[in-house]
Every structure is written in structure tokens, then in C-alpha cells.
Amino acid sequence: MSKSINVALLGNPNTGKTSIFNALTGLSQKVGNYPGITVEKKEGISKLDRINKGYILDLPGTYSLNASSMDESVVVNLLLNKKNKDYPDVAVLIADVENLKRNLLLFTQLKDLGIPTLLVINMSDLMSRKGISLNIPQLEKKLETKITLVSTRNNEGLDELKKLIINYRQLPTQPLISLKSINETYFNDLEKTFPDQPLYKLWLVITQDINYSKIEKNNIPNTSGFKTESPSSLKKLQQKETIKRYQYINGILKQGLKIDHKNAKDFRSRLDRIFIHSFWGYIIFFAILMIIFQSIFSWSTIPMDFIDRSFVNLSSILTENLPPGVFTDLLTEGIIPGLGGIVIFIPQIAFLFLFLSILEETGYMSRVVFLMDRGLRPFGLSGKSVVPLISGTACAIPAIMAARNIENWKERLITILVTPFMTCSARLPVYSILISLVIPVGSILGFSFKGLVLMLLYLSAFIMALVSSFLYSKILKVKFKSYFVVEMPNYKFPLIKNIGLIVWEKTKSFVTEAGKIILAISIILWILASFGPGREFNEAENVFKQNYSSLNQIELETKINSFKLENSYLGKMGKLIEPIISPLGYDWKIGIALISSFAAREVFVGTLATIYNVQSDKAETIKNKMASEMRENGKPVFNYATGISLMLFYAFAMQCMSTLAIVKKETNTWKWPMIQLFSMTLLAYIISLISYQILS
């Protein structure tokens, strides 16, 4: 019978914790949120041997158990509650070989909680290059644990780690630090009052109350009597505790760690002088962006065409082989075209996440964050706003949650309000189909027009975020107090396995989440487009056959389908809003796509695919259908002016109800999300109106 061991991976940020998690779990992992809160939870299964398997939980990065953010409080909350289903049988502390002293602070705290704790010293392949040598037996003796050296790059140490996890019951659990040496009277009284509770656990419960979040206290006694009159007194005790721990760590490392600086070969400082240079740093970043956007278009063309044609062929095959009826029509005109409208963009989404993961894995993204901090201050953004804004290029929802690390409420609010301007991956399908339709083939200085337009859309959204933040800072009268601190990881070659897992997980998440929405909307749209009110809709076929008997069968069916679509429930809705959107160059069909894409931006393409499939020949691709769509005057619907107007609308509009929901949750009011919705929609409308009127 297999046995399951709960394993918690802990460590400071940038210690390679995610690499070890990926190495242990592979594809047997999933990402979600902790119940009741919007903090990411990564978990997976690792086969330790033929009998044992490990349930691996990758906890948010933390420097200590003195929580100062929501992420850190999640870690403390778990470690204080044994009834939690994720409570670890064994904690695995991942330490960076170059920052061992700082990492061991968290290790000593874990040990003092009485949790069996392993020490993994990661990136051991760097030791010889950095001139680092470790006396492992000495360190194991002093730290009272087992230590393993791991290099995920060279696939070393993982088997040993699995063996140590299986034998976790042999690890000592006695505390390393005596709290009584900090304040004997205080901690003696605490121990006497609660003799059945671990002393360090009680101390954490007391101190967490003055920190960021409340901690669940299941079966933990009321310790309010041990709170001093002022929080500053508890802070002083915390500081004494930290000093005591570092004194203990220093004593151990004097015997167990040696660094030969003469042999250390470090090019990091030289590279940093280039990558975060006040001028060349921006030039390099701009050049990297150019390459990314060019590649997204040029590399993805062949697989996208293949996917598009495959869905068209699938609809045709099913139409020919399934019996005629409502179900067949729903499948071939609604569901398949709708899903095809999102699956076609998998190559571009995958390439986007591929490049983002490479930038992250190499350590360059941290330099970008540091570099951008300089330019954000004049526009009224906190330096800590850089992380949410950069994250917003993937998705606004986790990006807005990342603003929690900004202590000042007004600075955090401004970041939340402007983050949705950042071009998320959901906008990419809209940009892609429109750029391919209206931007001509050609290049300038070796860069294609299509890639340049895509980059300009990203830049225009970022500039609008800066302008908006500047205005908000003046309105809210923000006086900046926040200081931005970011840890610069070492430069390293990215691991192919890590990048592959990231691309797979992110792309799968994008497709599955979007797929659920698109499937539901496709069915609703098909129903609304296939049925209509009154005799005019129901008798359209007989009337047209009588009045247009001279037309061939294909022309007749096209006219009937177009008439029925225009007079369906969906057509009536579109006609209702057409007067509002026609000055932007949009017809009622585009209007329906705009409304439905409020559920998710990428639904725009799927909606048009469903509408055009109900109306016309199923054997055409969505791109061809959009290109052949004509106005009453015989001119293309998707001309240059309309395409640019649509792209600008999506660049600036608040087209995502999920983002509104998360803003409401983070601000605890509907006031700010409503301000976002109306101000961004009005801005998008005005800019699209001006652009269309000038270009048409």
C-alpha cells in the first residue's frame, strides 16, 4: 500500500525553490488559490520510491516567519495549524549556496517549531566557480539535521533528497535557539501558563497579531495576557530574537563555510553595468521586446494556419456525416467555431510565455524591474508598482493581487487602477487576427510591419498607464514614502525542463479557463442567432424562395441565413447598440462581439466565428470570413480604419469582468471598479472614434 508524505518546500525568494518543485513533480502539478484568499497555491505529486509518494506543496517565498505580507502570512498560518490538511510531515528548506547565512534564519525558525526539517543547499554546481566549500558533516551536527546538495541543472542530489524525505521521522525536532535567553522572565511565565504548547509556536501567535494578517488559532490558547502595552515592545523582542539567531548562525558558518574570493569568478557585476545602465539598459530592453514581438508573428504563422484549417475541416466532416438537426447545427456552427477561435492562438500564447519564462529564468526580469523603477517615480507610481505592471502583461488578475506588497494605501490603489491598461495575454488573440487582416505585409530595417504594430500597441497601453497614474497621484495627493527593494538573482542559463513546464502550465491554464467561457458563450450566441421573434423570422425561408427563385441554391441559402441572423434575437440586440458604435466603424455583429468579450477579451474572435458560421459557408476559415465581410455599400467591414479603431478600443477599454471582480475584492468597494469601467470605456471610445474618423 502506498504511503503519502506531506512535504512543504520553503525558502527565500530566488533560491531555486520552483526548480526543485518542478524536478520533483514534473507534470503532476496544479496551480490554484488558497481557500478564501487570492494567493497562488502550487502543489504536486512526487513518486519517492515504489511505496512512498510525496504530496509536495510549494509555499510562497518568505525571508522569515515574522510575516509582513499576505504571502508570508499564508506560510505562517499553515505551520501553526496541525489540523490543516496540508500541514507538513516534513519541511524542506531550500537555501541558495551564495546566501546561506540569510537563508538559515528561516531554517532555525522552522526547527524551533518542532517540524522535522531538511536543509537543501541548491545550485551546488556554482560552488567551485564561486570558491565556496562546505563542511557538510560539521553543518549537519551543529544544525541537527540532514543536508543534501542539489543541482537541478545537472540533475544531482534529487534521489538523495527523496530518500531523506522518506526517512523524515529520523530527523531531530528539538529547538536550536532558547527564547528564554532573550527575556527569561517573559518566556518563563509564558511557558508556565501554557505548559502543553510549544514555546516558539506561542511566541509566533503573539507576534503575528501585530503583523499583516490574522492567524487562525485552532486549539491555540488565548495569549492576549502576554501582549505588552505597546507593539514596539514586542518588536524589540523580535529584533533581539533575530540577532540571537544570526549570532548562532555566524558561529556555525565560521566552522562549516569557507569562501576563497581569489578563485571566485563572478561576471555578474560586469553584466549588471550593461543591463541596468541608465541609457543602454533601456536600449537593450527595447531591442529584446522588438525581437519577442517579431517572433510571435513570424514563428506562429504555420501552426496557426494548420489549426484554423483543421477546425474548418472538422466542421465540414461533421456536417456531412451527422444527421441534420439542431444538435448538428449547434456543434458545427456554434461550439466548434467558437473553440477554434481560441485554440488557433495557442502558438502565439505559448511563444509569449516562452519568452517571458526565459527572461525570468535567466535572472534578467529582476533587472528589468529595477531598471523600470527609475522611470516610474516621475509619473506618480511607487517603485513597488513595477512587479504588478510587469505581471500585467500575462494577466491583470494576479498582477493586481501582487500590489499587496505596497504598504501605502494610495500608492497601492493607483497601481490597482492603472494595471488593467497593461496588455495582457487575452488581448493577443484580438490583436493578432486584426493585425493579420488590416496591416500590410512588409518590413522596415528588417522588422515586419505586423510585429511593429503589435509592439506599438503594448507601448501605447503602457504609456496610458503612466499618464493615468500621474493624474491619479495628483487627484489623490499622494506623497511617496515607499522604497523599492529587489533582490538581484545570479545570471544563469535557463533550464529547458523548467521553461517547458511553465509554458505548458500557463498555456493550458489560458486555454482551459478561456475554453469554459467560450463554450458557454458559443452555445448562448448560437441559440440567440438561430431563433428570432415573429413570423418574419420563421417564414423567411418560404418568402425568399418565392421572391428569389432565380438565384442558385448557394446564393439563396446565403441570403436566407443573413436575413434570419439579422432578425434573430442576437441581431435585434446588435441593431439596438449599432447607433452607438457605428461612429467607430463597427457594425452590429462587431457590437455583439464587444459585449460578449466583456466576459473575457479573447471571446471576441470566437464570437465572430460563431456569428459568421451561422451566416455563411462552414468551409471558410475565420480569417477569410472576416476578410470577406462587406458593408451595405460593398466595402470591407474590416478595413484599415476599423481595424485600428478596434485595436485601440481593446488597448484601453476595461474589457474583463474578472478584473473588475478582483478590483472590488482588493479595494472592498464597488466604487473604484466602477470608476475603472466607465473611465477606461469612455477613454477607449473617444480614442477609437478619433482614430476611425481620421483614417476613414
pLDDT of residue 549: 63
Q: Which residues pair with 92 in a beta bridge?
A: 9, 118
pLDDT of residue 616: 57
User: What percent of the chain clears pLDDT 70, i.e. is strictly above it?
Assistant: 83
Closest CA to 522 of 572, 596, 472: 596
Greater pLDDT, 634 or 689: 689
Per-residue pLDDT reduced to its tens digit, 178-204: 888 888 888 888 878 877 778 888 888
Compute the average pLDDT of residues 48-68: 86
Q: What is the mean pLDDT of the chain?
A: 80
Rounded Cα distance, 440 and 17, in Å: 46
Confidence check: pLDDT of 279 > 70: yes
Per-residue pLDDT reduced to its tens digit, 358-417: 888 888 877 887 787 777 777 877 666 776 787 677 677 767 866 766 767 788 888 899
pLDDT of residue 117: 93
Closest CA to 637 of 479, 438, 494: 438
Q: Are 449 and 294 in contact (CB under 8 A)?
A: no
pLDDT of residue 402: 65
Greater pLDDT, 321 or 369: 321
As a residue count, the chain comes to 696
Q: Are 33 and 68 in contact (CB under 8 A)?
A: no
Q: Are strands 90-96 and 117-122 parallel, antiparallel or unpaired?
A: parallel
pLDDT of residue 29: 64
Q: Which CATH architecture has domain 3-259?
A: 3-Layer(aba) Sandwich (3.40)
Confidence check: pLDDT of 16 > 70: yes
Per-residue pLDDT reduced to its tens digit, 457-499: 988 988 999 999 888 888 887 665 555 566 677 777 888 888 8
Phi, psi of 55 (to 5 degrees): -90, 105
Using alpha carbons only, what angle is made at residue 236 by residues 232 and 238, rounded to the nearest 5 degrees?
Answer: 115
When pLDDT is cut at 50, 70 and 90, the band that residue 34 belongs to is very low
Q: Helix/strand/coil (H, E, C) string of 290-310?
A: HHHHHHHHHHHHHHHHHHHHH
pLDDT of residue 618: 53
Range(s) within the chain of domains with CATH label 3.40.50.300: 3-259
Segment among 187-201, 557-571, 572-586 with least mean pLDDT: 557-571
- Those residues whose C-beta lies under 8 Å from the C-beta of residue 584, and which sit 6 or more positions away, are 642, 645, 649, 685, 688, 689, 692
pLDDT of residue 219: 47
pLDDT of residue 398: 64
When pLDDT is cut at 50, 70 and 90, the band that residue 624 belongs to is confident
Print burial letters for 338-366: b (CB count within 10 Å at least 16), e (below 16). Answer: bbbbbbbbbbbbbbbbbbbbbbbbbbbbb
Compute the average pLDDT of residues 444-449: 80
Per-residue pLDDT reduced to its tens digit, 98-156: 888 889 999 999 999 889 999 998 877 777 777 788 888 899 899 999 999 988 888 88
Cell numbers placing 95: 537555501
Compute the average pLDDT of residues 576-584: 91
Per-residue pLDDT reduced to its tens digit, 191-247: 788 777 788 888 888 877 544 344 444 445 555 555 554 556 777 888 888 889 999
Rounded Cα distance, 121 and 153, in Å: 13
When pLDDT is cut at 50, 70 and 90, the band that residue 341 belongs to is low
Full-model pTM: 0.62
Compute the average pLDDT of residues 50-72: 83
Compute the average pLDDT of residues 30-45: 60
